[in-house]
Chain A
């Protein structure tokens, strides 16, 4: 009621006069925002829309009638009837004065400055006719840029706008940059002038992105080119599932720089280290440029496309004619485009007659699929970035989000900085956990117990949303009754967390006006995934946090197109049209494709891939942009199984560990060379555009699949990826209406399911016993629990990130992270090499890093290495193993 009253009191728009024009604006907008929206350019040096108004540079001063003096347009909100003059003689003179002051001590090294052509000081000096400074130039000497692999710091060029200082603090919540000295002697530098790598820098380059001059830039390289020399295309990042919008700068067929528009895209100009500095793999020396065929001596030798495809076609035909289409399977990597993924599954289903099509991250979808029937479409599918941004409380479960999704993580950091409750359930003291108001450091694998404890406390303390339960959920009484034998203290004890902390977490979550759960890779694998996701779903339902802004369950996904491939039917049980179990879907697909699908043998998924090869039922595997050797658990077994295949076809940009075993290797384009679309974790479909041509004879994935289909007898006539999306938009209900034209300027959201039926609880009690057994038990012989997970500098199993110098120079190989107490118990110091041995004797040698984020008894090893494949130590579908260490 009071909100309505206030809304009535707040005008919907204000009218002001700007340089004589009457302008309408929204209340709360600044003069600067309004001016820019109507094309009046007020100069700024210290302003960045990502940051709080700062008002330091004085370039945006404008005259406001009636004000005592000039006002900073960046920080002054418009008022009804305000009369603003942005370019009076007095103001222009003042701006020129400021520029003269700044230029006096600015190096005149524009010819060699990285920022030349993209420098505000340069622009404004020209615009405001600053051709001399009355007190004479005093350019300082430009020093060395420091030895960070990606970020160069030229302090002499700094104009002290403070943007780097603020972006590192306000957006990143780190603080690598700060002020030194005072007044005229002020400088911006790292604390104690330490190297960036020693002050907590995550190499995101946000400082580079915001520096208005050439004081913080990317390191110069031989590939460098200036703003006016490069071509720019807008594309989408191919690493994680955040879907960051990128601007790729290319020069002479090389990608020389990546930036992001502050005004557009979910990332609003923010990028992580991979997005900004991780594209070096595009021009890696070991790019595949020609198809390879294994010859009779067992060597992979270059050949022509014609030869490779002909040979491939013949071998597939021979194989399927005897063993049937279902002897073939396809496995896609998570950065395969919607178009290519769609064609892969269509190839398998309609040309070869196989349902064995899946993607590398299938395991992480098990809980989502299992809970689908409970109305997850409403609770999860419609959850967008804006919901994370506006949620009044956030609960992160198994989500080491700064490592897995560094840009989405900025929303969580923003929530913490603005004082919203952020609760982290994770055995590790993740970066977010170390900043969040509440961290429930559960025992490994006991996330669900903590959620059940919270759930039970919500009910006991009368914090449940009665209205929501009655109106939106099916049979809440039965569910609540099923909680009767749950005991908050017992569940908290099982989780290994403090009872009071759990209660506080439950209260914070339940009392927030809107609360959202983020489930991460740490809990999305194995049979317990269903249990954790179920408990999260129930918690959201009991507290009424579903189906409205700022609520729901957000599933983190592991790759750029994880969601898209699921939507495209790159799953044995799904079609682009929907679930295979749905008769209507099947009919629609058969009509749409003109193929008979109902007789196809039931397909098998990722977990069955290796057993099927071992059984001999699977004889050929088509791998597109994936590296199962490193991605799947049980390295030796995977290796042996792949070697048994009669035909292994790998389509990739590099000779991956899997490709080395292949019979045919098809050279593919990478993201920066590809055309198509990605659908990010939250269902935003965005364009991918080629900035540079693929090297040699490498081709875009979709085109290779088409060629292959044609060789196998299909009459496909897609001349460009746009044709494929047109077909997708016709057959996939969620993608209806999408076209490249629609996607030209910005992404479009896929339609979210809005179920009319009531939401169903997930029965908690049934799963609780099974889930607990999911985690490997440690014992005296193997006393440490090895876990793996995302590492922000790399992605997945690292085929691309390892080859990007901007990333590999920061972290070339993983090291085994170990708790300090454990390290001293094992007599280990930083840098020692150890042999890590699993129960079955599989072992790896790796250096150790002492870490403050791991609990005692847990060690962590990243997954991105081919030299130290953690898969060697893992069994089953949980990314954990009991291990012992020996110093070597």
Chain B
């Protein structure tokens, strides 16, 4: 096979960025940003700048305007979702470039930013999240990250393929097609130590090797990207798909070349409409440029990509269920072996990787396996994106080298606990993972280490809970999620999780016994052992880790009939301290069921019969007069 390779066409942007605008506004248009109102902010900038008449408001690649230009672009998720909408303001004046990021920008603030900052040159300190001028409290969030998978997310305009091409886009694919054999590609990925970022952490190079070695009856193989990210509180893949869709295509094309596939499916959950919209735009552009399709870049490699929208089942993130779903069947996992590498989609050898895994592949090809392997920890190389959520100050998306401790992630990047409440636990790996207590926070984020705790690194969800969260209730919540998402195929998952949930509900309702705890652990271990797919085998993890690390809180529920966090309604009573109550009536007004009575300026009383234990009065009272027990 030493025949001469055809001369390939190196991909390059078609439309150059022809001007360096004096003003460049980048608004985060990730789902978090959009939800926080960033579209309105973007429009306000466009309209506001146009109204001033000072600048010509242009698109960066439309160019041609003389004089003073401003351009406003949307980017993917910029990471610090807690401060969404985020707006970067770049000014280039007299050879001096400045860059300021404002947080929680509203359309009302835009006018002031335009007049004071953009026109007046005065940075508005109170809204600053990040600036070159001085340190801010958010700096640790940015400084400790290392963005490989997210290298373009929040930087480029995901709807403009030239932005991606300008940022070395499709150069990795070019390198692969022009100078590497499939075996060399697989070797490169193997040497990098990349492991599947979807949760299981299976070595990506090895997975590709299996699929490459598998024989297909008719030569057809498939390459699938799993974008059915479904863990509550996880949005890593969402951000990548929304912010850098081409990186995923490029990673897929490289993988397809490596295993010998010519058709790919990108499976995205339908609950990600923005990602789907951008993927469609990106796919069309890539096809038009010949970066997806027949004879890519003039090579003899063809790769056709199809987008498949999931129909809302969490279990379709399981690879065999996902393939069933693509085939048009009910999304139910099937028996393995045969593994997808031998017999997957439509019975052909199939490789399936997660979004984040594929997004980092082009980086590895361009920067070398060694550069990736130089980062990380023992058997967990490179970086990993985490979605920080819950009771942490700086929620958002952070990519850090593997091996960083949980404490560094939560207290360093995340900035610690919101409202300075006491840390209780972090739920790692979503409903398949487990919750880890304070005592384990100094563990490095590493597949093997975290697995030993009973939790998993998983796809990267980290939900932080504090003293106000009940551990039993949290376990109940995650179990209720998997219980509802069980496909129903095997009895341990279908019925076992239901029985477990019933026990947890009983404990939350104050009807549990000590024996229930052993019973729960017993059922959980059987469900883990006997279930057909990963959903069932991991569903008990949140419960098992909760019991393991917080047994005292469980015992409190069953023995003392007490919920220390005041979350479990049956175990919580709200009383008004007649001494402290000033009779301000605030609690009575906020009570949704009119359970609080009392004359103005007289101590109020809660009617326990009517009280639904919602805690609204507790939150409202400024005098600590409402007591929860």
Residue on B with the closest CB to A181?
Answer: B488
Given A77-B337, A94-B529, A135-B499, also A183-B330 (CB < 8 A): no
Contact indicator A54/B488 (Cβ below 8 Å)? no
Residue on A with the closest CB to B485?
Answer: A183
A186 neighbours in B (Cβ, 8 Å): 487-488, 494
Contact indicator A55/B530 (Cβ below 8 Å)? no
- Residue B612 at the A interface, CB < 8 A? no
A105 neighbours in B (Cβ, 8 Å): 495
Contact indicator A55/B486 (Cβ below 8 Å)? no
Q: Which of B486, B532, B537 contacts A184 (CB 8 A)?
A: B486
Contact indicator A56/B490 (Cβ below 8 Å)? yes
Instruction: Find residues 452-501 in chain B having any chain A CB closer than 8 Å to their own CB.
Output: 483-499
Q: How many whole Å from A79's CB to the nearest CB in chain B?
A: 10
Chief secondary structure at chain A's binding surface? loop
- Residue A61 at the B interface, CB < 8 A? yes
Given A69-B537, A160-B494, also A75-B313 (CB < 8 A): no
Contact indicator A58/B492 (Cβ below 8 Å)? yes
Q: Which of B330, B334, B487, B491 contacts A102 (CB 8 A)?
A: B491
Q: How many whole Å from A830's CB to the nearest CB in chain B?
A: 31
- Number of B residues near A (Cβ < 8 Å) is 32
Instruction: Find residues 296-338 in chain B having any chain A CB closer than 8 Å to their own CB.
Output: 313, 330, 332, 334-335, 337
- Residue B623 at the A interface, CB < 8 A? no
Contact indicator B488/A183 (Cβ below 8 Å)? yes
B530 neighbours in A (Cβ, 8 Å): 58, 61, 70, 94, 97-98
Q: Which of B337, B497, B498, B532 contacts A56 (CB 8 A)?
A: B532
Instruction: Find residues 61-78 in chain A having any chain B CB closer than 8 Å to their own CB.
Output: 61, 69-70, 72, 74-77
Contact indicator A55/B334 (Cβ below 8 Å)? yes
- Residue A615 at the B interface, CB < 8 A? no
Q: How many whole Å from A293's CB to the nearest CB in chain B?
A: 65
- Residue A53 at the B interface, CB < 8 A? yes
- Residue B519 at the A interface, CB < 8 A? yes
Contact indicator A184/B491 (Cβ below 8 Å)? no
B519 neighbours in A (Cβ, 8 Å): 134
A77 neighbours in B (Cβ, 8 Å): 337
- Residue B502 at the A interface, CB < 8 A? yes
Contact indicator B490/A57 (Cβ below 8 Å)? yes
Q: Which of A53, A72, A98, A104 contacts B492 (CB 8 A)?
A: A98
Residue on A with the closest CB to B496?
Answer: A101
Contact indicator A160/B492 (Cβ below 8 Å)? no
Q: How far is the CA of A179 from the CA of B494 in the complex (A)?
A: 14
Contact indicator A56/B499 (Cβ below 8 Å)? no
A93 neighbours in B (Cβ, 8 Å): 526
A74 neighbours in B (Cβ, 8 Å): 335
- Number of A residues near B (Cβ < 8 Å) is 36
Contact indicator B489/A102 (Cβ below 8 Å)? no
- Residue A581 at the B interface, CB < 8 A? no
Q: In the complex, which of the residues A97, A98, A104, A185 has the most CB atoms of chain B within 10 Å of its own CB atom?
A: A97
Q: In the complex, which of the residues A94, A160, A184 has the most CB atoms of chain B within 10 Å of its own CB atom?
A: A184
Residue on A with the closest CB to B519?
Answer: A134
- Residue A741 at the B interface, CB < 8 A? no
A90 neighbours in B (Cβ, 8 Å): 529
Q: Which of A58, A70, A162, A184 contacts B498 (CB 8 A)?
A: A184
Contact indicator B490/A184 (Cβ below 8 Å)? no
B523 neighbours in A (Cβ, 8 Å): 97
Given A55-B532, A61-B530, A97-B530, also A179-B488 (CB < 8 A): yes
Instruction: Find residues 2-36 in chain B having any chain A CB closer than 8 Å to their own CB.
Output: none
B334 neighbours in A (Cβ, 8 Å): 54-55
Contact indicator B495/A104 (Cβ below 8 Å)? yes
Q: How far is the CA of A181 from the CA of B330 in the complex (A)?
A: 11
Q: How far is the CA of A635 from the CA of B492 in the complex (A)?
A: 65
Q: In the complex, which of the residues A102, A162, A178, A183 has the most CB atoms of chain B within 10 Å of its own CB atom?
A: A183
Residue on A with the closest CB to B331?
Answer: A182
Q: How far is the CA of A55 from the CA of B337 in the complex (A)?
A: 10
Instruction: Find residues 163-182 in chain A having any chain B CB closer than 8 Å to their own CB.
Output: 178-179, 181-182
Given A69-B537, A182-B486, A183-B488, also A54-B335 (CB < 8 A): yes
Chain A window 111-150, contacts with chain B (Cβ cutoff 8 Å), 1 for yes, 0 for no: 0000000000000000000000011000000000000000
Contact indicator B488/A58 (Cβ below 8 Å)? no
Contact indicator B526/A183 (Cβ below 8 Å)? no
Contact indicator B489/A184 (Cβ below 8 Å)? no
Q: How far is the CA of A200 from the CA of B604 in the complex (A)?
A: 68
Residue on A with the closest CB to B503?
Answer: A135
Residue on A with the closest CB to B535?
Answer: A183
Given A76-B337, A93-B526, A135-B502, also A183-B491 (CB < 8 A): no
Q: How far is the CA of A102 from the CA of B484 in the complex (A)?
A: 18
Chain B window 517-543, contacts with chain A (Cβ cutoff 8 Å), 1 for yes, 0 for no: 001000100100111100001000000
B494 neighbours in A (Cβ, 8 Å): 101, 160, 183-184, 186
Contact indicator A97/B483 (Cβ below 8 Å)? no
Contact indicator A101/B335 (Cβ below 8 Å)? no
Q: How far is the CA of A98 from the CA of B489 in the complex (A)?
A: 13
B335 neighbours in A (Cβ, 8 Å): 53-55, 72, 74-75
Residue on B with the closest CB to A188?
Answer: B488
Q: How many whole Å from A189's CB to the nearest CB in chain B?
A: 13
B532 neighbours in A (Cβ, 8 Å): 55-56, 58, 72
Contact indicator B485/A58 (Cβ below 8 Å)? no
Q: How many whole Å from B398's CB to the nearest CB in chain A?
A: 32
B484 neighbours in A (Cβ, 8 Å): 182-183
Q: How many whole Å from A160's CB to the nearest CB in chain B?
A: 6
Contact indicator A57/B491 (Cβ below 8 Å)? yes
Given A69-B537, A101-B496, also A184-B526 (CB < 8 A): no
Contact indicator A58/B490 (Cβ below 8 Å)? yes
B495 neighbours in A (Cβ, 8 Å): 101-102, 104-105, 184
Chain A window 90-110, contacts with chain B (Cβ cutoff 8 Å), 1 for yes, 0 for no: 100110011001101100000
Q: How many whole Å from A136's CB to the nearest CB in chain B?
A: 10
Q: How many whole Å from B346's CB to the nearest CB in chain A?
A: 10
Q: How many whole Å from A61's CB to the nearest CB in chain B?
A: 7
Residue on B with the closest CB to A160?
Answer: B488
B497 neighbours in A (Cβ, 8 Å): 183-184
Q: How far is the CA of A53 from the CA of B487 in the complex (A)?
A: 18
Q: How many whole Å from B146's CB to the nearest CB in chain A?
A: 33
Residue on A with the closest CB to B347?
Answer: A419
Chain A window 215-247, contacts with chain B (Cβ cutoff 8 Å), 1 for yes, 0 for no: 000000000000000000000000000000000
Q: How far is the CA of A676 from the CA of B489 in the complex (A)?
A: 46
Q: How far is the CA of A94 from the CA of B492 in the complex (A)?
A: 9
Q: How far is the CA of A104 from the CA of B497 in the complex (A)?
A: 14
B498 neighbours in A (Cβ, 8 Å): 183-184
B489 neighbours in A (Cβ, 8 Å): 56, 160, 162
Q: How far is the CA of A74 from the CA of B336 in the complex (A)?
A: 11
Q: How many whole Å from A2's CB to the nearest CB in chain B?
A: 12
Residue on B with the closest CB to A134?
Answer: B519
Q: In the complex, which of the residues A55, A74, A90, A102 has the most CB atoms of chain B within 10 Å of its own CB atom?
A: A55
Contact indicator B499/A101 (Cβ below 8 Å)? yes
A178 neighbours in B (Cβ, 8 Å): 330
Q: How many whole Å from B606's CB to the nearest CB in chain A?
A: 36
Residue on A with the closest CB to B333?
Answer: A55
B537 neighbours in A (Cβ, 8 Å): 69
Q: How far is the CA of A660 from the CA of B221 in the complex (A)?
A: 67
A54 neighbours in B (Cβ, 8 Å): 334-335
Q: Which of B330, B486, B487, B491 contacts A58 (CB 8 A)?
A: B491
Can you name 29 A-B pairs with beta carbons within 8 Å? A55-B532, A56-B490, A57-B491, A58-B491, A70-B530, A74-B335, A75-B337, A90-B529, A97-B492, A98-B530, A101-B491, A101-B494, A101-B495, A101-B496, A102-B495, A104-B499, A135-B502, A160-B488, A160-B491, A178-B330, A182-B485, A183-B484, A183-B486, A183-B487, A183-B488, A183-B498, A185-B488, A186-B488, A186-B494
Across the A-B interface, the 8 shortest Cβ-Cβ residue pairs? A186-B488, A55-B335, A183-B486, A101-B495, A75-B335, A97-B526, A184-B498, A101-B491
Other contacts beyond A76-B337, A101-B491, A182-B486: 6, CB < 8 A: A57-B491, A58-B492, A101-B492, A101-B494, A185-B488, A186-B487
